[in-house]
């Protein structure tokens, strides 16, 4: 049996500017296969610069499988970047989480929400108010974590780990903003460990 996987998000999900096999969805599938868990290539619906409402619009015009065995959702950084109010994000994110659960055959246990990374630690943000960015990202992530808990969905905190390597240029691409494969590998590892734990492998 091979499992199916849907990844929903933005540039962090497609792995902007990195080879496709270094994106976290593909790294996750590679790690799970190495554990003897067969997965099809991920079905990815994501685009750089998407905010929650743009992902929602794209979902309405996309052809999905009847159900997926695994769904990940990582969205919101562009809401913060564009100063979209948290209340508006909250409504959009709730709808996206509900859709994610539906795509997983209404099994919340098969859905994973990843926290929004803090782009304020990047070299790109050197002349920005990094503390303000961090505090705002934390507010958005509180929404993600609260709804994940409400719907019994796993919440994977990648932000704490990501902030640790904020001064290490090897964790960023040449644009100084987007993560390198080193960062995505950490996220995939966190997901893989949790999924293997759930499957009892």
Cα–Cα distance for residue pair 56/36, rounded to 1 Å: 34
pLDDT value, residue 166: 84
The size of the chain, in residues, is 201
**pLDDT tens digits for 70-82?**
999 999 999 999 9
pLDDT value, residue 198: 85
Backbone φ and ψ of 157, nearest 5°: -85, 100
Cα–Cα distance for residue pair 9/29, rounded to 1 Å: 17
pLDDT value, residue 199: 79
The answer on pLDDT for 184 being more than 90 is: yes
* Mean pLDDT in residue range 35-43: 96
Helices (H), 107-200: 130-150, 159-164, 181-199
pLDDT value, residue 39: 96
Cα–Cα distance for residue pair 200/166, rounded to 1 Å: 34
Average pLDDT, the chain: 96
82: which DSSP letter?
A: T
The answer on pLDDT for 201 being more than 60 is: no
pLDDT value, residue 71: 98
122: which DSSP letter?
A: S
Contacts of 200 (CB under 8 A, 6+ apart): none
Where do the structural domains in the chain lie, given as residue ranges? Answer: 5-199
Enclosing H/E stretch for 31? helix 24-34
Binning pLDDT at 50, 70 and 90, where does residue 1 land? Answer: confident
**pLDDT tens digits for 50-102?**
999 999 999 999 999 999 999 999 999 999 999 999 999 999 999 999 999 99
**pLDDT tens digits for 102-137?**
999 999 999 999 999 999 999 999 999 999 999 999
Binning pLDDT at 50, 70 and 90, where does residue 167 land? Answer: confident
Choose the CATH number for 5-199 among 3.40.228.10, 3.40.50.1110, 3.30.390.10, 2.60.120.380.
Answer: 3.40.50.1110
Contacts of 155 (CB under 8 A, 6+ apart): 112, 113, 115, 144, 145, 148, 149
């Amino acid at each position: 049996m091979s499992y199916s996987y849907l990844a929903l998000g933005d540039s962090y999900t497609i792995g902007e500017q990195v080879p496709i096999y270094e994106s976290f969805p593909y790294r996750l599938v590679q790690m799970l296969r190495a554990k003897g868990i067969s997965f099809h290539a991920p079905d990815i619906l994501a685009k750089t610069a998407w905010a929650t409402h743009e992902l929602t619009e794209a979902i309405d015009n996309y052809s999905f499988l009847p159900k997926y065995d695994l769904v990940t959702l990582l969205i919101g950084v562009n809401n913060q970047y564009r100063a979209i109010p948290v209340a508006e994000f909250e409504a959009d994110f709730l709808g996206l989480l509900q859709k994610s659960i539906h795509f997983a055959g209404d099994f919340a246990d098969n859905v994973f929400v990843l926290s929004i990374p803090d782009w304020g630690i990047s070299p790109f943000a050197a002349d920005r108010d990094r503390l303000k960015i961090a505090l705002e990202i934390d507010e958005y992530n509180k929404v993600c974590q609260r709804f994940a808990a409400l719907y019994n969905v796993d919440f994977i905190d990648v932000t704490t780990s990501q902030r640790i390597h904020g001064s290490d240029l090897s964790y960023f691409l040449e644009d100084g903003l987007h993560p390198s494969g080193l960062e995505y590998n950490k996220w995939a590892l966190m997901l893989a460990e949790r999924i293997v734990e759930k499957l009892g492998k």
